[in-house]
Amino acid sequence: MLRALAIAIALAFAAPAVAQTPLPADPANTVVLETTKGRVVIRLRNDVAPAHAERIKVLAREGFYDNVPFHRVIADFMAQTGDGEFGNGTGGSKYPDLRQEFSKVPFARGVVGMARTSDPNSANSQFFIMLTEKSHLNGQYTVVGYVTEGMDVVDQIKKGESARNGVVKDPDKIVKLTVQADAK
């Protein structure tokens, strides 16, 4: 009995570490961002946000994200991009908004979340990459992936002039976003 209790306690404390263990390589669910600062590789979390992961892949294959700016970047918070309609954070894609797919995956450095309005079911094409951990986002936004390579590149993306809204003048861009499995 004591042994079973000890194992249960050990597993409970190990759970957070297991939750952040990287998933195996999966080119069909990995996207590559060639940016003006360098290359960023993102493993999409189709296991926790299948509709959002699929949306990013569909838009990538359509070239929607090519030459799209990082329009909102806040130091010690996140870098937001994905407005292929207007490039200023007010647009989306031709597809309908997605229902939220909240999970228990925490918003740690390198996690990729879907941007939305105050309506939790309004994510469409925009996403953000966490520059640091922000637990207040946990369970409030859909986690769609995590950076597996290139956080040093994300750190170099030009920050907004205002720490409050993070709007960037003359922003860095995604030059091209591709699904890794499609690369030739």
pLDDT tens per residue across span 150-162? 999 999 999 998 7
User: Taking the model in full, what pTM does it have?
Assistant: 0.88
Average pLDDT over residues 34-50: 98
Residue 126 CB burial class (10 angstroms; 0-12, 13-18, ≥19): buried
Burial bucket for residue 23 (CB in 10 Å: 0-12, 13-18, 19+): middle
Q: What tokens were used for 45?
A: 């979390």
23-182 has which fold?
Cyclophilin (2.40.100)
pLDDT band for position 22 (cuts 50, 70, 90) = confident
Residue 163 has pLDDT above 90, yes or no: no
Statement: residue 130 has pLDDT above 90:
yes
Q: What is the pLDDT of residue 87?
A: 94
The DSSP result for 144-169, as a single string, is EEEEEE-HHHHHHSPPPS-TTT-B-S
- Measured over the CA atoms of residue 100, residue 104, residue 106 and residue 110, the dihedral's sign is negative
Confidence (pLDDT) at 8: 41
Query: Average model confidence (pLDDT) for the chain?
Result: 90
CB atoms within 10 A of CB 8: 9
Q: Are strands 78-81 and 72-74 parallel, antiparallel or unpaired?
A: antiparallel
Q: What tokens appear for 122 in the block? A: 């309004």
Question: What would the pLDDT profile of 67-123 be if each residue is shown by its tens digit?
Answer: 999 999 999 999 999 999 999 999 999 999 999 999 999 999 999 999 999 999 999
Q: What is the pLDDT of residue 12?
A: 43
How crowded is residue 47: how many other Cβ atoms within 10 Å of its Cβ? 12
Beta strand ranges found along 37-89 (DSSP E): 38-44, 68-69, 72-74, 78-81
**Per-domain residue ranges of the chain:** 23-182
Angle at 165 between CA 163 and CA 170, to 5 degrees: 90
Percentage, residues of the chain above pLDDT 90: 83
